[in-house]
A and B are shown apart, each in its own frame.
Chain A
Amino acid sequence: MTKKEKKVFLLTSVLCLFFAVPQKAQAMLIMEGYLPPKDCVLWFVLCIPFIAAGFMSLKKITAENKKALIILAMAGAFTFVLSSLKIPSVTGSSSHPTGTGFGAVIFGPWVMSIIGVIVLVFQALLLAHGGITTLGANTFSMAVAGPFVSYGVYKLCRKLKVGKFISVALSAGLGDLFTYCVTSFQLSLAYPSPNGGIIMSMVKFLAIFAVTQIPLAIIEGIITALALSAIEKISDIDFDNKGILKMEA
C-alpha cells in the first residue's frame, strides 16, 4: 500500500467510526448471521435459566393480578419504542438507547428478561435489528446482563443513601456500559484475534465501540434519571417503596 492509499484508508476508517457506528450501533445488537453456530447455541443456553426464572415470575405476577399482564405489555411496548427512538449524541449523530435501566428500575430484572426477549423478537421482525440466530447473545447482553447490573447498582446506591436521581443515572449508565462490554466480549469470543486471542480482540471491539457507547451511556443515564423524576412528579408512582406491579395489585 502506498502512503497516499494508507491515508485514504485511515480517513475512511475514521469517518466510519464517527458516522456509521453512531447511526447504526442499534443499541449494540449483534446482526443476524454474525455469530458462528457454537456461539449462538452457547448464548441461548446461558439465557435459559434467566428466561425460565423470568417466566416463573411472570406466571406468578399474572396469577396474582390479572391487570399485571396489560401493564407488562405496555412496559414491553414502551421498551420497544424507547430502544427505537434516537437520543441526542455528542458525536454529532444519534443512536438508540438500550432502555434496560429504565425497565429494570421500574419492573425489576426478572420480568425484564422475559419482556426483553419479546422486544428483541419484535426488533428483529419489525426493524431488522438483531436477528433470530443472534437472539440468545442479544438477550444475554440486553435483557439479562444490562437489567441485572442496572437493578443491582440502583439497589446498592439506594442502600448507600445516594440520591434517587444519581442512583437512577448511575444504574442506567452503568447498565448500558455493561451491555456494551458484554457485546464486545461476545464478539471477541466469536472472532478472537489470531495473535492476541480473545483479550486482544476484546480490546479492539471495546476501543471501536467506546467512541459512541461511552457518551451514549452517560446521556442515557441522564435522560433516564430526568424521565423517572418527571414521572414521579406527574404521577403517584413511587419506584422505591413498592414496584408499579405491586402498587396495582
Chain B
Amino acid sequence: MINSVYITEYIKNVNPNIKTVFALSVILSCVIFKEPLGCIFAMSVMWALIIKNCRLSRHLICHIVLWPVLFIAFSSFMVAFDITNYKGEIFSFKIINSYFLTVNAQGAKKAIRLFFTSAASLSSMYFLSFTTPVNDVVYVLKTIKCPKEITELFMLIYRFIFIVLNMAHSIITAQNCRMAQRTFKTRINAMALMLSSVFVLSYNKSLFMYNAMLSRCYSGDINFLNEKYDNNRKHVLFAVVVVLVIVLISALERVF
C-alpha cells in the first residue's frame, strides 16, 4: 500500500493543509479545463515532486501506478466508442443489421482529453497519497471542523485495517499451503471460510480493544496528539504559482 513509501523529512513537515489544498486545486483545474497541455504540465510537476520527495521502488511503481494508468487508458478508450446506424470516420464494426460500433474524430478527441485529465488528476492524487500520511489527513479533517465521531472513526478504521489485513493474509497463506486454490469450488469455499474467520476474529479483537481502552479510562472521547508543521510561505507561493500556470496554459490552449 501507498502508506509504506518512505518520504523525506522536508515534505513530511510541510503543513498537510497546504499539501491537500494544492493537490485538490490541481485536480480541479485539470477537471474544469480538460486541456491536454495543462494536464501534461500538472502531471510533470506532480511526478517531479513525488520522485524528489519519495523513495519509490520499481516494483511499487508497477504495482500501484501502472495498473490504474492502464485502467484509465481502457476507460478512455471506451468513451471513444459509439453505437450508430452509420459508419464511423475512424473505425466502424458492424454489430447487428444496420448498427455499427464506431469511433469518430470527436469521440477520439474526447477520449484523449479524458485520458490526460484523468492521468493528471491521478498524479495529483498520488502526490497527496504519497506525501500525506493518514495522521496528517486527520489534522486536515480537524482543520475543516469535521465532526468528532467521523474523525475518531476514520482514525480507528485506519488502525484496524492493518490488523484485519494481516489476519486475512495469514489465513490465505495457510489455505494456500493446504491446496485451497486447487479448483474453482475450493477457491470459493476457502474465500467464504476466510471471510467468516476474519470477521469473527476481528469482532472479538475489537471487543478486547474496547476492554483495553476502558482499563485506560476511555469515556467515549479519543484524543490525538497534534504535530507541529512548517508553515512556510514559500510552499504557499509555490502552490499558487503551479496552479496559476496550469490555468494559464489551459486557457491559452483553449483560445488557440
Contact = CB atoms under 8 A, between A and B. Distances in A.
Interface string A217-241: 0010011001110110011010000
B157 interface: yes
Contacts of A194: 82, 104, 106-107
Contacts, number: 243
Interface string B149-167: 1101110111111011100
Interface residues of B, number: 89
Contacts of A235: 200, 203
- Chain A, interface SS category: helix
B27 interface: yes
B199 A231 contact: yes
B164 A31 contact: no
Interface string B92-133: 010000000000101100100010011111101110110010
A35 B192 CA distance: 35
Given A24-B68, A33-B118, A77-B157, A131 B74 contact: no
Counting chain A residues whose Cβ lies within 8 A of the other chain, the interface size class is 35 or more
Given A196-B83, A234-B196, A226 B152 contact: no
Contact of A32 (B121, B158, B163, B184): B121
B188 A58 contact: no
A33 B116 CA distance: 9
Nearest to B1: A126
Interface stretch (A42-50, A79-87, A136-144, A151-159): A79-87
A16 B77 contact: yes
A234 B200 contact: yes
Nearest to B161: A77
B244 to A, nearest CB: 19
A2 B110 CA distance: 24
B137 interface: yes
Interface stretch (B9-17, B28-36, B233-241): B28-36
Contacts of A9: 91
B121 A133 contact: yes
A55 B147 contact: yes
Interface in A69-118: 69-74, 76-78, 80-82, 84-85, 87-88, 90, 102, 114-115, 118
B200 A88 contact: no
Given A77-B163, A208-B78, A126 B2 contact: yes
Given A9-B91, A70-B210, 12 more contacts: A16-B77, A33-B31, A62-B220, A77-B157, A82-B195, A84-B165, A90-B184, A114-B153, A115-B157, A133-B31, A226-B188, A234-B197
Given A55-B149, A122-B161, A132-B27, A70 B209 contact: yes
Contacts of A73: 153, 156-157, 159-160, 206
Contacts of A223: 188, 191-192, 195
